[in-house]
Amino acid sequence: MAPVINITSKLLNIDDLKLLSRHTGPCVTISIPRYQPGTGSGTRHAHLRNLTQIAVEQVGHLNRPEVGDDLVSALELLAGKLDDGHGGPGVTLFCAPGFTAVYETPGVHTDGVTVGDYFDLLPLVATAQSPNHFFVLGISKNKLRLFHYSNGRVEELALPIGVPDCLEAAGAFDEPEHTMDSHSAAGPSVGGLRGVRFASSGDQDSNAVYLRHFFGLVDFGLQETLNGAPLFLAGVQEELSLYRKIAKYPKIFESECHGNAEHASHDQVANHAAAGALREYRLTADRAFRALPEIRNKIAGDAGAVLKAATEGRVRQIFAAENGSPKAALNAAVVEALRTGAEVFTYPGKELPGFGTIAAVLRY
């Protein structure tokens, strides 16, 4: 039977991981990082063909002819469809008996081939669980920019009516209660001017009042457009800090991007947004991990015991070191936890601080 590609060019998410966790071996996972032509790192063609050949050889070593030929055909079909000679985002290929799929995986930074009883999902958990649909607000008193981030890409949006695009434009709306400006009557030497503004000790406070007024208009005017979706902030740190103090919108990411977003390209905004989403996931995982020492019903440091409990459906939460070892055992525990509905968190590095390479909170 000719192999069929089930999914192509979709950004991997947590629901996809759960579906992938249901497949049993032999499972082939091939990871290919983002590639840009002309970078001097070889061609995507060469990487893909080399990795596919490695996977084919490993499948051949399984001594399972009833599935080996179909897997080889499926791998070759996948390679042919992706091998267009052009650049592109990081992708991961999955191939198992009766199943093939390709997902965009921007968190993949190195080539890799794994053939085993499970798909290699451990390195993909963090990226797959990072927020994937949210708004990005580039804050600047000179130029405000609004983007929608989805599936690794951004679209710049027009500001809603009533939202000024800069501090100067905010002056066309209701004035703040206090301007702290002082004026003197114009003398004959200033022609037809009605008054001359002069500096006072309140000038700095005056600037802050206007900026607060501007940010208040922005926060209020964006409520309907945001409609409860998360918001990621980018801009100069001092202005972001003031915006957070003014804003009443409840779903602003803790993570933020520091830097002027006035002239950033869409690709730059998308990259910063993806990095911010990953940091947001890390913060969520860290909060869950901090509660672990107080939980009595848990297993720590024993991948085999965690795997057994996960297979039996007894794991409520699992924490695994992304670069821990033995890798196959950690990955198996994570896959079984995903399959049986546990909440899965991964931690960067080789160990969880104080708990070895893996820990699990048990349901019973």
pLDDT tier, 182 (very low <50, low <70, confident <90, very high otherwise): very low
Per-residue buried b or exposed e for 224-244, using 16+ beta carbons within 10 Å of the residue's own CB: eebeeebbbbbbeeebbebbe
The residue from 284, 306, 323 where one domain ends is: 284
Domain presence at residue 359:
yes
Q: What is the mean pLDDT of the chain?
A: 85
Give the angle subtended at the CA of 144 by the CAs of 142 and 149, to the nearest 5°. 150
The residue from 284, 303, 330 where one domain ends is: 284
Residue 328 sits in a domain whose CATH number is: 3.30.1330.30
Instruction: Determine if the peptide bond prior to 123 is cis (ω within 30°).
Output: no
Give the angle subtended at the CA of 283 by the CAs of 277 and 287, to the nearest 5°. 150
> How many angstroms separate the CA atoms of 322 and 54, rounded?
23
Residue 207 sits in a domain whose CATH number is: 3.30.420.60
Domain presence at residue 188:
no
Residues 77 and 43 in one domain: yes
- 340 vs 24, more confident: 340
Domain presence at residue 127:
no
| Residues, the chain | 364
Domain presence at residue 126:
no
β-partners of residue 28 are 95, 115
Which has the minimum average pLDDT: 53-67, 212-226, 236-250, 326-340? 53-67
pLDDT at 234 over 90: yes
Residues 159 and 255 in one domain: yes
Q: Is the pTM of this model over 0.85?
A: no
pLDDT tier, 24 (very low <50, low <70, confident <90, very high otherwise): confident
pLDDT at 346 over 50: yes
pLDDT at 178 over 70: no
Average pLDDT on 90-98 reads 87
β-partners of residue 30 are 93, 113
pLDDT tier, 305 (very low <50, low <70, confident <90, very high otherwise): very high
Structural domains in the chain (count): 3
pLDDT at 260 over 50: yes
For the record, the structure tokens of 168 come out as: 């100067």
Q: Report pLDDT for 76.
A: 73
Domain limits at 301?
291-364
Average pLDDT on 218-223 reads 97
pLDDT at 181 over 50: no
Instruction: Output the DSSP codes for 171-229.
Output: TTSPPPS----EEEE--GGGTT-SEEEE--TTHHHHHHHHHHHHHHHHHHHHHHHHTT-
DSSP character at residue 294: G
* Residues whose CB falls within 8 Å of the CB of residue 50, separated by 6 or more in sequence, listed in order: none
